[in-house]
Amino acid sequence: MPLDQTFPFDDRGLAYGDGLFETVLVRDGKAQLWDEHLARLKRGSKTLGLAMPSADVLADLPKRCGSGLKVLKLIVTRGSGGQGYRLPAVASSRLRWQVQPFTPRADRWLGVRVRHCELRLGVQPRLAGIKHLNRLENVLARSEWQDAEIAEGLLCDSEGRLTEATAMNLVWRRRGRWETPALQHCGVAGTLRQALFTSLPLIEVETGARVLGEVDALCLINSVQGVWPVLQLDTAWGAMQHHWEPNAHHLALQRLAHSLLGYPQPDASGFPANGG
Amino acid sequence: MPLDQTFPFDDRGLAYGDGLFETVLVRDGKAQLWDEHLARLKRGSKTLGLAMPSADVLADLPKRCGSGLKVLKLIVTRGSGGQGYRLPAVASSRLRWQVQPFTPRADRWLGVRVRHCELRLGVQPRLAGIKHLNRLENVLARSEWQDAEIAEGLLCDSEGRLTEATAMNLVWRRRGRWETPALQHCGVAGTLRQALFTSLPLIEVETGARVLGEVDALCLINSVQGVWPVLQLDTAWGAMQHHWEPNAHHLALQRLAHSLLGYPQPDASGFPANGG
């Protein structure tokens, strides 16, 4: 039976971004950080008041991804119905998914250059943390640069709090501690970030971007790409603002995170050289 | 040839809300406020950097709506392509549309009761004014009440500025002038609001909700429903906060706006009694 991957005109995910998504790394039919993905999906469903797809249906998806390294993307919308913005009387949802072969950017495990974005994220505590379908801010932020040498862009919210990168979370080492921006006001709480809370003493902080002048190591992380050490940070206008040498903190975080994702470990001499 | 109204899994409108929509009142094949709808669509296309559908294709749509009163909803997404949030190399778009019979809520032309919403709109000047597909804030705000006696909910932004209702704009009479919230920070600039700027001395103001204690008449407006005079405003907790008697200001605004939409005029004795 051919898989229906289309969405009808009246789907609320399309009309209003009224839904959620997850992008899951799957290795040989086994989803990485699957518990964290399901937990975030559940939290998002509760936040939006939409029906969580059945556990059985979800559990079956990674098994259908085949062998090798894949990315499973699943979209859960509120389905059709309701009247304008008003919700349907009965909670509903529509699940669609797609699998694609995946190769991580192993070159970026060695270190990346990033920049500040000009765009400021709107503050919306009601939607903070969940991976909903309203992502125009991320799209606009990512459109601020074309230079392939720039791997990511850092985002502050409208009140100046450093929050995330366009598609990754931030973790840094400062004064002997691992810290990550609190995501109470906006931003997406990534599943690798979530998993690190149980493996590290990782502290949530509220701070402006000025903090980056004080950090010993800054990393970008997500559950499909792993850990990118930041070696250079530019302003939004292209001037170099900070520079870091690769160091033991980058390696330590990468070692830990890559073990959670099944990615290669950096050895004592430095970073992993290939995508394994 | 059957009309394709579906969207593929990889459509960016679905994935990220990366697109725009318009909801157009069409009477006997003639779109009302069509110039204003096209202008907003054009402005949104420019803001998002997506390809505006061709003028010929757009001009043809109202003619295909048949006779009677209809609502034409059109959705323009950025189409498929790009890599994650990164835009496709060439600007593209996908247009889909649907027509439905429509009857305005004529009972609400006589006056409505509204409430404040608890949700605060996030401030995002980069997206303010345009009718993009990221509308989860509106969905959440509309889900704050179930009481059918409450016609709409008023929204302030995260910095306390009174901005709009969940699906309508605000216009009020104060100190002998017509005023409407400025929409530089967030909110949707409705087409009826836009049209009124050319028919009225209508002034944009930045103010908190406290202003409503000083207004002689408050109206909710949009291009499909016309003008709803607000006779009672409740707090988010259900207590009555303000009360207004129907008055000549409501009538004057309704007379003007309804002439733009082809809706019945209130006569000297009061409001129109039916949907004509």
Give the whole-angstrom CA distance, residue A105 versus residue A228. 9
Predicted pLDDT of residue B46: 97
**Which pairing describes strands B69-77 and B94-101: parallel, antiparallel, or unpaired?**
antiparallel
Residue of A nearest to B146 (CA): A86
Where residue A60 sits, what CATH number does that domain have? Answer: 3.30.470.10
Tell if the CB–CB gap between A9 and B6 is shorter than 8 Å.
Answer: yes
Quick one: B86 and B114 in the same domain? no
**If you write DSSP's letter for every residue of B44-95 in order, what string do you get?**
HHHHHT-PPPPHHHHHHTGGGG-SSEEEEEEEEE--S-SBTTBPPSS---EE
Per-residue pLDDT, B270: 60
Looking at A68, A101, A134, the residue that finishes a domain is A101
Task: Write the pLDDT tens digit of every residue in B36-88.
Answer: 999 999 999 999 999 999 999 999 999 999 999 999 999 999 999 999 999 99
Is A145 contained in some domain?
A: yes
Percentage of chain B exceeding pLDDT 90: 92
Nearest Cα to B187, choosing from B158, B209, B216, B211?
A: B158
DSSP state of B253: H
| Same domain, residue pair B97 and B114 | no
B189 lies in some domain: yes
Q: In this predicted model, what pLDDT tens digit does every residue of A63-90 receive, in sequence order?
A: 999 999 999 999 999 999 999 999 999 9
Binned at pLDDT 50, 70 and 90, residue B4 comes out as: confident
Contact by Cβ (8 Å): B167, B155: no
> Between B120, B139, B167, which is nearest A18 by CB?
B139
Which pLDDT score is estimated for B30? Answer: 98
Q: Is the pLDDT of residue A220 over 70?
A: yes
Q: Is residue B266 part of a domain?
A: no
Q: What pLDDT does A74 receive? A: 97
Q: What is chain B's mean pLDDT, rounded?
A: 95
The packing angle between helices A191-199 and A248-261, to 10°, is 110
Q: Tell me: the pLDDT tens digits for B161-210?
A: 999 999 999 999 999 999 999 999 999 999 999 999 999 999 999 999 99
For the segment B223-248, the average pLDDT, to the nearest whole number, is 97
Average pLDDT (A152-163) is: 98
Residue A27 burial by Cβ neighbours in a 10 Å radius (0-12, 13-18, 19+): middle
Where among B56, B83, B101 does a domain terminate?
Answer: B101
- Say if B14 is an interface residue toward chain A (CB within 8 Å): yes
pLDDT band, residue B91 (cuts 50/70/90)? confident
Q: Do A37 and A152 belong to one domain?
A: no
Band the pLDDT of B275: cuts 50, 70, 90: very low
User: Tokens 């990220």 correspond to what residue?
Assistant: B16
Residue B276 in domain: no
* Per-residue 3-state assignment (H helix, E strand, C coil) for chain A: CCCCCCECCCCHHHHHCCEEEEEEEEECCEECCHHHHHHHHHHHHHHHCCCCCCHHHHHHCHHHHCCCEEEEEEEEECCCCCECCECCCCCCCEEEEEEEECCCCHHHHHCEEEEEEEEEECCCCCCCECCECCCHHHHHHHCCCCCCCEEEEEEEECCCEEEEECCCEEEEEECCEEEEECCCCCCECCHHHHHHHHHCCEEEECCEHHHHHHCCEEEEEECCCEEEEEEEEECCCCCEEEECCCCHHHHHHHHHHHHHHCCCCCCCCCCCCCCC
Contact A142, A190 (CB under 8 A): no
Are B130 and B253 contained in the same domain? Answer: yes
- Stretch A162-175: mean pLDDT, rounded? 98
The answer to whether residue B92 sits within a structural domain is: yes
- Whether A272 shows a pLDDT value over 80: the answer reads no
Count of CB atoms situated within 10 Å of the CB of A178? 20
Cα gap A122→A115, rounded to integer Å: 19
CA gyration radius for chain A?
Answer: 19
* The pLDDT of residue B272: 58
Q: How many helices (H) and strands (E) does chain B have?
A: 6, 13
**Contact call for B85 and A126, based on CB within 8 A:** no
Counting one residue from chain A and one from chain B, the pairs whose CB atoms sit within 8 A come to: 160
Q: Do residues A86 and A148 share a domain?
A: no
Q: Is residue A171 part of a domain?
A: yes
In this structure, is residue A2 part of a structural domain? no
Quick: pLDDT tens for B103-113: 999 999 999 99
- Total count of domains within chain B: 2
> Torsions phi, psi of B198, nearest 5?
-90, -10
- In a domain, residue B64? The reply is yes
Q: Give A 61-80 residues with CB within 8 A of chain B.
A: 75, 77
pLDDT tens sequence across A29-56: 999 999 999 999 999 999 999 999 999 9
Asked if residue B166 and residue B241 are part of one domain, the reply reads yes
Q: What is the CATH number of the domain that holds A137?
A: 3.20.10.10
CA distances, A116 to each of A31, A97, A154, A212, B48 (Å): 32, 33, 5, 11, 20
Nearest residue to B51 (alpha-carbon basis) of B103, B94, B21? B94
Radius of gyration from C-alpha coordinates of chain B: 19
For the segment B241-247, the average pLDDT, to the nearest whole number, is 97
For residues A146 and A175, state if they share a domain: yes
Degrees to nearest 5, angle at CA B53 with B48 and B55: 125
**How far does A214 lie from chain B, in Å, by closest CA?**
29
Best mutation target among A16, A136, A147 (most B Cβ atoms within 10 Å) is A136
Residues whose CB is less than 8 angstroms from the CB of residue A3 and which lie 6 or more positions away in sequence, other chains included: none
Predicted-assembly ipTM surpassing the 0.90 threshold: yes
Average pLDDT, chain A: 95
The parent domain of residue B82 ranges over 12-101
Both B58 and B80 in one domain: the answer is yes
* A119 contacts in chain B (CB < 8 Å): 126
Q: pLDDT value at position A265?
A: 86
pLDDT band per the 50, 70, 90 thresholds, residue A2: low
Tell me: do A183 and A167 sit in the same domain: yes
Q: By C-alpha distance, which of B100, B102, B104 is closest to B112?
A: B104
Which of these three, B40, B67, B101, is where a domain ends?
B101
The two beta strands, B169-174 and B177-181, are antiparallel
Please tell me whether residues B132 and B257 are part of one structural domain. yes
Domain co-membership, B84 together with B116: no
Using a CB–CB cutoff of 8 Å, tell me whether B18 touches chain A: yes
Smallest Cα–Cα separation from B236: which of B207, B209, B275, B198? Answer: B209
* Most B-contacting residue of A3, A5, A9, A131 (CB-CB within 10 A), to test interface: A9
The residue ranking higher by pLDDT, B276 or B181, is: B181
Alpha carbons A68 and A101: distance in angstroms, whole number: 8
Min Cα separation A64/chain B (Å): 18
Nearest by CB to residue B124, choosing from A7, A137, A142, is: A137
Based on the fold, state whether residues B151 and B175 are members of the same structural domain: yes
Q: What is the pLDDT of residue A103?
A: 98
Of all residues in chain A, the one with the smallest CA distance to B89 is A146
